[in-house]
Every structure is written in C-alpha cells, then in structure tokens.
C-alpha cells in the first residue's frame, strides 16, 4: 500500500486542525494549539495565503499532513521551503510514509527552484532526529532560534 500526497482543500481544514491537535498532544504542547478552523482557513486559503498544506492518504484515509511555507535566503538569492509541521498518525508510522512525504516536498522544492528545505525538531525527539539524519539531513549548528510570542510582540511594539 502506497501513500498519496495531495494539496489540502478548504474542505480539509477541519481535518487538518484535528491532526494539528493530535500533533500538539504528541509534542506535549496541547495548550499552545489555540488556532481555529477560521484562522487556519484564512492562513491556507485566504486572499494572501501564508502557508500550504498537503495530506497523506492511504486508501483514501488521511494518515498525516505537512504544512510548509516559502522563505528566502539572502545568501543564496533563492527561495527555500520551511516545513513547519510534518505529522503521521501513530498507527501509520515506521511504514515509509514520512520518508515518502519528505521526498515529495523535496521534489516540490527543487521544482520551485529552492536552494534549501529546512525544518526544526524538538531536542527530545530522538526518533525523529535519527530519522532525519538517516536521510542525509544535518542539524544547523551555531544558530539558536529566537521568538517573540504574541504578548512579547505587543510589549516590544509599545516600548520606546
């Protein structure tokens, strides 16, 4: 049985949000998953889409998703793809779906002229790290991710 990968449609948004909730549970971040169907719909299918989503299906059943967006490298002077989330439902893991999903996105990145394809992984997720390294991905050393969350953004905006 081989998975198929298709672009999400507006009708898929509730399913995507459900799987985002499943991912948040797995990552021990359920409290952070506060987005709504309307917000996800706007982000993926609004006037100016911010991201794209793909669904992995086996025999028509959704078994996972990937959500990614374009970025740009000033050094390469080329676009890239950033994979925000890749999720395969637990019953379907270790069957090659994740690898095939990443290969599908890699082909998409190359077809779009991208110079890189990047993502982040939680430090405690040893199985994902091993999986990524087995396919030739390397951690980017010397960089630390920084973030201003909503509260920090508002505070920073209002400081002199």
- Counting every residue written for the chain, the total comes to 160
Cross-strand bridge partners of residue 6: 55
Q: Which residues of 139-155 are buried (b: 16+ CB within 10 A; e: fewer)?
A: eeeeeeeeeeeeeeeee
| pLDDT at res. 145 | 86
| pLDDT at res. 151 | 87
| pLDDT at res. 20 | 97
Q: Measured between alpha carbons, how far is 62 from 104 in angstroms, rounded to an integer?
A: 16
Question: Which CATH number do you get for residue 40?
Answer: 3.40.630.30
Asked whether the whole model's pTM tops 0.85, one would answer: yes
- Residue 51, CB-side half-sphere exposure with 13 Å CA sphere: 18
Number of domains forming the structure of the chain = 1
Q: Measured between alpha carbons, how far is 106 from 34 in angstroms, rounded to an integer?
A: 29
> Which H or E run contains 119?
strand 116-119
Q: Are 116 and 99 in contact (CB under 8 A)?
A: no
| pLDDT at res. 53 | 98
Range of the domain at 46: 4-157
> Which H or E run contains 109?
helix 97-111
**Which residues of the chain carry a pLDDT beneath 70?**
none
| pLDDT at res. 12 | 98
| pLDDT at res. 144 | 83
| pLDDT at res. 54 | 98
Listed in sequence order, the residues at least 6 apart from 12 whose beta carbon sits closer than 8 Å to its beta carbon are 53, 55, 62
pLDDT digits (tens, 9 = 90+) for 35-78: 999 999 999 999 999 999 999 999 999 999 999 999 999 999 99
Environment class of 9 (CB within 10 Å of its CB; exposed 0-12, middle 13-18, buried 19+): exposed
Active site residues: 132
| pLDDT at res. 24 | 95
């Amino acid at each position: 049985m081989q998975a198929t990968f298709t672009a999400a449609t507006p009708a898929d948004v509730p399913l995507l949000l459900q799987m985002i909730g499943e991912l948040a549970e797995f990552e021990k971040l359920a409290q952070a998953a506060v987005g709504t169907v309307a917000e996800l719909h706007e982000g993926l299918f609004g006037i100016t889409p911010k991201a794209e989503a793909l669904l992995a299906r086996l025999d028509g059943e959704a078994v996972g998703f990937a959500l990614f967006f374009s970025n740009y490298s000033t050094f390469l002077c080329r676009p890239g793809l950033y994979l925000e989330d890749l999720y395969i439902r637990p019953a379907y893991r270790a069957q090659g779906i994740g690898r095939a999903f990443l290969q599908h996105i890699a082909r998409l990145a190359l077809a779009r002229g991208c110079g890189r394809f990047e993502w982040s992984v939680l430090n405690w997720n040893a199985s994902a790290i091993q999986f990524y390294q087995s396919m030739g991905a390397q951690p980017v050393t010397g960089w630390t991710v920084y973030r201003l969350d909503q509260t920090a953004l508002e505070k920073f905006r209002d400081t002199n």
